[in-house]
Amino acid sequence: MPINKHNKPLKSRIPTIKGIIEGAGETVEQPIVSTVEQNYMPYAMSVILSRAIPEIDGFKPSHRKLLYTMYKMGLLDKARTKSANIVGQTMKLNPHGDSAIYDTMVRLSRGYEALLHPYVDSKGNFGKFYSRDMAWAASRYTEAKLDEICTELFADIDKDTVDFVPNYDNTLMEPSLLPAKFPSILVNANTGIAVGMASSICPFNLREICNTTIELIKNPEHDIKSTLIAPDFPGGGNILYNEDLLDDIYKTGRGSIKVRGKFIYDKSANCIDISSIPPTTTTEAIIEKIIELSKKNQVKEISDIRDETGIDGLKITIDLKRGVAPEKLMQKLFKMTPLEDSFSCNFNVLIKGTPKVLGIKDLLHEWIAFRTECIRRRTAFSLKRKEEKLHLLNALKKILLDIDKAIDIIRNTKEEINVVPNLMSGFKIDEKQAEYVAEIKLRHLNKEYLIKRIDEVNSLKESIDDLKEILSDENKIRDIIILELNEVAQKFGKARKTMLIYQDQIPEYKEENDVPEYAVDLFFSRQGYFKKITPQSLRMNAEQKLKEGDKILYHVAANNTDELLFFTDKQQVYKSHVSEFQDTKASALGEFVAAKLGMEENETPIYMLNLKDYNVGFLLFFFENGKVAKVTLKSYKTKTNRKKLLKAYCDKFEVVRIFYAKKDSDYLLTSSQGKVLLVNSSMISLKTTRDTQGISVMSLTKGQKLIAVKEISAEDAPNYAMYKTKTLPVKGTKPLPSNVDDALQMRF
Give me the active site residues, please: 141
Rg of the chain on CA atoms, in Å: 43
d(CA 312, CA 356): 40
Residues 6+ apart with CB under 8 A from 91: 98, 101
Is there a contact between 564 and 547 (Cβ–Cβ < 8 Å)?
no
* Strand (E) or helix (H) holding 557: strand 552-559
CA dihedral (199, 202, 203, 205) positive or negative = negative
DSSP string over 144-156: EEE-GGGHHHHTT
From 237, 224, 220, 218, select the one nearest 277 (Cα to Cα): 237
d(CA 374, CA 178): 10
From 209, 252, 260, select the one nearest 230 (Cα to Cα): 209
Exposure of 297 in the CB half-sphere (CA atoms within 13 A): 10
Q: Which H, E and C letters describe 664-693, residue by residue? A: CCEEEEEECCCCEEEEEHHHCCEECCCCCC
Judged by DSSP in three states, 253 sits in coil
243, amino acid identity: E
* Strand (E) or helix (H) holding 272: strand 271-276
d(CA 204, CA 209): 7
- Alpha-carbon distances of 595 from 251, 551, 604, rounded to whole Å: 55, 19, 10
The Cα diameter of the chain in Å comes to: 156
